[in-house]
Amino acid sequence: MNIPFAEWLEKAIREKEADTIVKIRMMGGTVPVAAFINELNIPAVIVPLVNPDNNQHSPNKNLKIKNIKYGIKTFYKILSTPLI
């Protein structure tokens, strides 16, 4: 979590110094990134944009419109920020 890429990513998406960015070391079992990490021998990060009550993989999953707007803005920042 303290690799230079993760630090760059956090800086790229942070808007204000007080913003809280939650960093966890793992995701659910249905996120198929392990093959890429193992085969390419590179670190990977996932930037989820869901609301806490979206109930992924259940009949009542949902995504709030504000999260779509936040996602577009966040990925724009990521894709337009030069790497360190």
Q: Which domain holds residue 72?
A: 4-80
Higher local confidence (pLDDT), 11 or 18? 11
What is the pTM for the complete model shown? 0.69
| Count of the separate structural domains present in the chain | 1
- Residues ≥6 apart with Cβ < 8 Å to 78: 9, 12, 13, 47
The Cα 67–Cα 49 span in angstroms is 6
pLDDT averaged over every residue in the chain: 80
Q: List pLDDT tens digits, range 49-67.
A: 777 777 667 777 777 888 8
Residues 67-84 have pLDDT tens digits of: 888 889 989 999 999 986
Q: Which residues contact 23 (CB under 8 A, 6 or more apart)?
A: 1, 6, 10
